Amino acid sequence: MDLYKNLAESVEITYRNKKPVVIGHSNSLLLVGMGRSAFVFKIKDTNKVIKVFFPELSHIAREEACVYKVVQHIDSYPSLYECGQNYIVIDYVKGYTFFDCLTHGIPISEKEIRAVDFALSSARKNGLNPSDIHLRNIFKTQDGEIKIIDVARFRQKKKCDQWDDLKNAFYHFYIKPFFPKKLPPFLLNGIAFLYKNVLRKQAVTE
């Protein structure tokens, strides 16, 4: 336990223009990602990552760990190895997010969509409410498996239609022969912004 705790404590975070920035960390860590609430480091010479949450969002570590404990028996979610005050340690998922697939032209199959459906359905059967499912937290691994990460919101009560909307877009647009299988990041980010700030707000008020 001290190993992971010491690694988490080695991460120094400051703020520049109100945005969190890493200014130092152990040589055993390699920064591989940043989300809305945490930095993610691969622990060198292992197949694990440590997710270190921003100081004001450290409470999310325990919330996310609670969800991972519930889905440990479901193959489509990473294994949880440890949880601390401001960090969790999980499997390193090697592959491409669905966002990466769309920007690199890597095909997404109907079988993979069904695999996501199965993973989310399995979570629901275990009393969870899968929420905030988006292109960047669904991975297609190098072995062709589906992995879902960033599960901190899986215990919220509010109904979330994001996955249903993504799935509808897949069947109504993506699988059509004329639809391009490679899209520029700025277009996907623009669609996400429109969806979050306009379409979802309209749906709530209707």
Catalytic residues: 132
- In contact, 117 and 74? CB cutoff 8 Å: no
Checking phi first, is residue 184 left (phi over 0); if not, alpha (psi -120 to 50) or beta? beta
Distance CA 94, CA 35 (A): 17
- In contact, 158 and 131? CB cutoff 8 Å: yes
Please count the other Cβ atoms lying within 10 Å of the Cβ belonging to residue 41. 26
The CA-atom distances, in angstroms, between 180 and each of 29, 32, 139, 169 are 38, 29, 20, 13
